[in-house]
Structure 1
């Protein structure tokens, strides 16, 4: 483990000597993640990108990519673009990245089942804003918005999300 690592613990997300309250998937933590199970996958996941809503948030870090209208994430295991960012119009099942609510105003992308996805193993494990304390995600790790921003600004190349 390095100082740049974030670790999910029963008390929250541990990073740089601090512990931040967080929520995980409604399916708990799983060593056998499947599409739609709502679980957060056990493992060591590299942080491979950052997305943000430029109409709601200043660029949080110089490596962040803006989320534009029509940006989607493919979650259809039968699609050629499964577990990749795609653009509308897009017929297969997908998730909108530019949401009406603030959940994806700032998103950290992990390398879960990416860039070469195994079909059905689960798409996109993000770190994003939570709906409210204790409210589970679909498998992502979610935090209070100010904590997510604080963490994002301190990540370094090679930072990882560790889910024991």
Structure 2
């Protein structure tokens, strides 16, 4: 572990000398992550990118990429583009990244089951804003919007999310 890592604890994420409240997946923390189980996967996950809504917020880092209309994330384990960014029209199972609500206005991407995805092993483990304090995610790690912004402004391409077994 390095000081630039995001480390999940029982009380939140430890990062940059501070504890940041967060929520995790409704399925808890698991070593045997599967698509749709709602679990946050145990492991050391690199932060591979930042996506943001340019019509709503500024880029938190020079390497952040805008979320465009039609950007989707494939969560269909039967597709060769499973667990990757895809574009509409896309008739298979997916998550819409450019949402009406602000949930995905800022997304930190992880390398969970990427770039060579194992079908059914889980997709789209993001760090994003929470719906509200204590409300679980579908497996992602979620933060208060201002905390997510502060974290995104401080991470580097070497930052990792570390999720230890519980």
Shorter-chain TM-score bucket reads over 0.9
Distance 1:23 1:73 in 2: 21
Query: Is the aligned partner of 1:31 residue 2:56?
Result: no
Query: Is the aligned partner of 1:63 residue 2:63?
Result: yes
TM-score using structure 2 length: 0.98
Distance 2:88 2:156 in 1: 32
Distance 2:34 2:15 in 1: 27
User: Runs of 4 or more off by more than 3 Å in structure 1?
Assistant: none
Q: Which residue matches 1:6?
A: 6
RMSD: 0.5
Distance 2:157 2:138 in 1: 26
Query: Is the aligned partner of 1:105 residue 2:105?
Result: yes
Q: Which residue matches 1:117?
A: 117
Question: Shift of the alpha carbon at 1:150?
Answer: 0.5
Question: Shift of the alpha carbon at 1:146?
Answer: 0.5
Question: Shift of the alpha carbon at 1:51?
Answer: 0.1
Question: Shift of the alpha carbon at 1:124?
Answer: 1.2
Distance 1:87 1:76 in 2: 14
Q: Which residue matches 2:87?
A: 87
Query: Is the aligned partner of 1:15 residue 2:15?
Result: yes
Distance 1:128 1:96 in 2: 14
Question: Shift of the alpha carbon at 1:41?
Answer: 0.1
Does the residue aligned with 2:58 lie in a helix, a strand or coil?
Answer: coil
Q: List runs of 5+ in structure 2 lacking aligned partners.
A: none
Q: How many residues align?
A: 164
TM-score using structure 1 length: 0.99
- Cα shift readout 1:115-148 (whole Å, capped 9, x = no counterpart): 1100000001000000000000000000001101
Question: Shift of the alpha carbon at 1:71?
Answer: 0.2
Distance 1:95 1:66 in 2: 16
